[in-house]
Amino acid sequence: GDSVTQMEGPVTLSEEAFLTINCTYTATGYPSLFWYVQYPGEGLQLLLKATKADDKGSNKGFEATYRKETTSFHLEKGSVQVSDSAVYFCALSDHSGNTGKLIFGQGTTLQVKP
Amino acid sequence: SQTIHQWPATLVQPVGSPLSLECTVEGTSNPNLYWYRQAAGRGLQLLFYSVGIGQISSEVPQNLSASRPQDRQFILSSKKLLLSDSGFYLCAWSGGVSVTDTQYFGPGTRLTVL
């Protein structure tokens, strides 16, 4: 079945460092891909998404490009801030049955130190 | 604009007691609705989803059940809670028009079973 694999965390960076969180997927067909962010004690918020190959999603300085050839959707940010500390989830849409179900990776915790 | 509400925000219940968590969505019609559980330090597990009133699909056999008595209301229940039911429960909705639709999450309910 479809699946999402994220890099193991936690990831600890200093403020203004470059961030990469790897995400790879396995899917039949052409799923849409998402990054969600969860701040402590809160629900998930959509960070960005891409719906087809070579699309780039971007928001709040974060970017991710849908790479069909490598089945990847890595999250990047050029300069992280302390306020970016959160758990980041990569997800893909399950197109079977037209239910809009999402399949999530296990999440990657990011801690940014001043 | 659309909003999603969950209550209660926090709940502490003894083993063997019943459970009822409620989720309501405002500002949209006929949404797809989802219940997820997030155990401590782990990813999201889809529990139930619904594409319409009275239509419930279960993803994981367990101690829980779900109901959708109204178009924008989704309820998660249990007759007798287990210790393993502890976790962070998240409700989400999507437009349901396309499988590329984004899911939007509520603030969550943190359940502790003692």
What DSSP string describes A24-50? EEE-SS---EEEEEE-TTS-EEEEEEE
Q: So what's the pLDDT on residue A56?
A: 97
A23-27, A66-70, B37-41, B82-86: segment of lowest average pLDDT: B37-41
CA distance B111 to B36: 13
Tell me the pLDDT band of B102, cut-offs 50, 70 and 90.
Answer: confident
Tell me the pLDDT band of B2, cut-offs 50, 70 and 90.
Answer: confident
Res B10 pLDDT > 70:
yes
Bridging pattern class, strands B73-78 and B87-94: unpaired
Interface check A21 vs B, CB under 8 A: no
What is the CA angle B110-A10-A22, rounded to 5?
105
What is the CA angle A48-A79-A108, rounded to 5?
55
Interface check B102 vs A, CB under 8 A: yes
CA distance B87 to B97: 30
E strand intervals along chain A: 3-6, 11-14, 19-21, 23-26, 33-38, 44-50, 56-59, 62-65, 75-77, 86-94, 101-104, 108-113
Q: So what's the pLDDT on residue A41?
A: 82
Tell me the pLDDT band of A28, cut-offs 50, 70 and 90.
Answer: confident
Interface check B90 vs A, CB under 8 A: yes
Tell me the pLDDT band of A98, cut-offs 50, 70 and 90.
Answer: low
Average the pLDDT over A36-52 and give the result.
91
Res B100 pLDDT > 60:
no
Q: So what's the pLDDT on residue B110?
A: 93
Average the pLDDT over A28-53 and give the result.
90
For A89, name the nearest residue in chain B, comparing CA atoms only.
Answer: B43
CA distance B37 to B88: 6
Show the tokens assigned to A93. 């849409």
Average the pLDDT over B4-31 and give the result.
95
Q: So what's the pLDDT on residue B48?
A: 93
Q: In whole angstroms, how far apart are CA B70 and each of A24, B98, B108? A: 38, 22, 20
CA end-to-end span of chain B: 38
Tell me the residue type at A37.
V
Tell me the pLDDT band of A63, cut-offs 50, 70 and 90.
Answer: very high
Tell me the pLDDT band of A96, cut-offs 50, 70 and 90.
Answer: low
Q: So what's the pLDDT on residue A7?
A: 86
Residues of B in contact with A100 (CB under 8 A): 32, 94, 96, 98-99, 101, 103
CA distance B66 to B47: 9
Res B43 pLDDT > 70:
yes
Average the pLDDT over B43-57 and give the result.
90
Tell me the pLDDT band of B68, cut-offs 50, 70 and 90.
Answer: very high
| Residues 55-84 (A) with a CB less than 8 A from some CB of B | none
